[in-house]
Amino acid sequence: MNKCLVCESTFSPFISFGDQPIANGFLKEEDFGKEYLFEMKVGYCDQCHMVQLTEQPDREKMFHDQYPFYSSLSNHMQKHFRSEGEEIFNSYLNKDSFVVEVGCNDGIFLQYFKDKGMKHLGIEPSSNVAEAAKEKGINAWSTFFDEDVAKKAELEYGKADLVFSANVICHIPYIHSIAKGIESILSDKGVFVFEDPYLGDIIEKTSYDQIYDEHVFFFSAHSVSTLFSRHGLELIDVKKIPTHGGSMRYTLARSGAFEKSNAVNEVLKHEEELGLTKFETYEKFSKNVENSKKNFVALLEKLKSEGKSVAGYGATSKSTTVLNYCGVGPNHISFISDTTPMKQEKFTPGTHIPVKSREYFGQNTPDYIVLFAWNHKKEIIENEPGFEGRWITYIPDVHVF
């Protein structure tokens, strides 16, 4: 039995992915023997509806001065965050507003507010990406956000009119300290807007690769509303967004400060219909994941027996779960192409597939390529008009296209 990180009720896991390494722990050959592994299991708490990992490695193992994820590498993500900034500005802010971002990465979201000359602060624990933000003139602190940091920020800059966070809140197990910090720094009419991969999409698409060490929570409108209402914050709006393979943007404010949009009730209703509040739904998901593994391994075995060459596209965090869970290594996939310099000439965590540059891929074109960065499918297919082989995906099911 495990204890819910939100409400402390006990729950049992519905799936185990076996031993998993640090998802972004790309490594050199000399470090193969030193990898940290943990058993990755996920459970559903029927008291507060939170789907969560049962254990997570220490945060310093995941977020540090070698964190290899730079948000601004994707043009589509840059466009996405600029229009997010604009939309939130038009709905809730003015030029005198103060904007705080929890986990600002390389400043991809704050750039818009900086360009407008607005007061802003980014809080980012991975120092290499925080430095990249500072180099662009973004005001950033390189630390983990919590209640105490929120107090310090308020002392220095005052109350915040927007606290924003993208693909970060779901990473933080000490969620009550985060919620208290946000609640304390928000101005009376301030809003807390955050987005994360959406549980509904994970269930509907069997996108089990969203489950890896960094993602401790898999949010729904049900669990978000329950969690933050404990801290006096009310879910006033929700919006489905396409990033990271299907995300939800949640807007929260002090209870009673704004009218609740219709979209909230609609999403809550949709979640009931999807079965997100029933344990059986998660048992069914677990079966779907097993099937996905069977089909993926069978396809790779078949291609191997036919002598076809297979590579991968995008050494994503998500791919770590798939490769380790399916037991797929360099025997099946000869290399993975990735544009991130910090990942190149290293090996994938746990399975040790070489990560190579886009140029290497151009010179060593395989017959088949597994699209591990499936969430960037449109952008990638557009960028690779010359690839004459076939693509493989496993979302929403294993197929060749």
Residue 314 as a binder of ligand TYD (CB under 6 A): the answer is: yes
Task: Name the strands in the sheet holding 355-356, side by side, starting at the edge strand that comes first in the sequence.
Answer: 355-356, 336-337, 310-313, 368-371, 390-393, 399-400
Beta strands in 198-244 (DSSP E): 217-218, 233-241
Say how far apart CA 174 and CA 105 lie, in whole Å.
20
Q: 4 or 182: whose CB is closer to Zn ion?
A: 4
Cβ atoms of 120 and 103 within 8 Å: the answer is: no
Q: What are phi and psi of 363, to 5 degrees?
A: -90, -10
Q: Show the tokens assigned to 61.
A: 């193992």
Query: Of 137-145, 179-187, 269-277, 313-321, which part binds ligand TYD (CB under 6 A)?
Result: 313-321
Q: Choose the binding region for ligand TYD from 216-224, 230-238, 308-316, 323-331 (rule: CB under 6 A).
A: 308-316
By CB under 5 A, the residues from 46 to 85 that bind Zn ion are 47-48
27-61 CB burial, b ≥16 within 10 A, e <16: beeeeeeeeeebebbbbbbeebbbbbbbebbeeee
160's tokens: 């915040």
345 binds ligand TYD (CB under 6 A): no
Please, which residue, 123 or 170, has the CB nearer to ligand TYD?
170
Q: Indicate which single residue of 40, 45, 169, 315 sits in contact with Zn ion (rule: CB under 5 A).
A: 45
Question: Pick from 272, 256, 263: which is nearest to 237 by CA?
Answer: 263
Contact of residue 380 among Zn ion, ligand TYD, none (CB under 5-8 Å per partner type): ligand TYD
**Out of ligand TYD, Zn ion, none, which partner does residue 123 contact, by CB within 5 to 8 A per kind?**
none
User: Which residue of 84, 106, 201, 338 would you call a contact of ligand TYD, by CB under 6 A?
Assistant: 338
- Pairing mode, if any, of strands 140-141 and 310-313? unpaired
Among Zn ion, ligand TYD, none, partner that 315 touches (CB below 5 to 8 angstroms by kind): ligand TYD
- Of the candidate residues 54, 111, 292, 375, the single one contacting ligand TYD (CB under 6 A): 375
Integer Cα distance of 180 and 23 in angstroms? 29
Using the rule CB under 6 A, give the single segment among 99-107, 232-240, 278-286, 316-324 that binds ligand TYD.
Answer: 316-324
CA triple 57-249-21, angle to 5 deg: 20
Per CB under 6 A, 370 contacts ligand TYD: no
Q: How many residues bind ligand TYD (CB under 6 A)?
A: 17
195 forms beta bridges with 166, 249
Residue 318 engages ligand TYD in binding (rule: CB under 6 A): yes
Q: Does position 383 bind ligand TYD by CB under 6 A?
A: yes
- List residues near ligand TYD by CB under 6 A: 69, 73-74, 314-318, 338-340, 373, 375-376, 379-380, 383
- List residues near Zn ion by CB under 5 A: 4, 6-7, 9, 45, 47-48
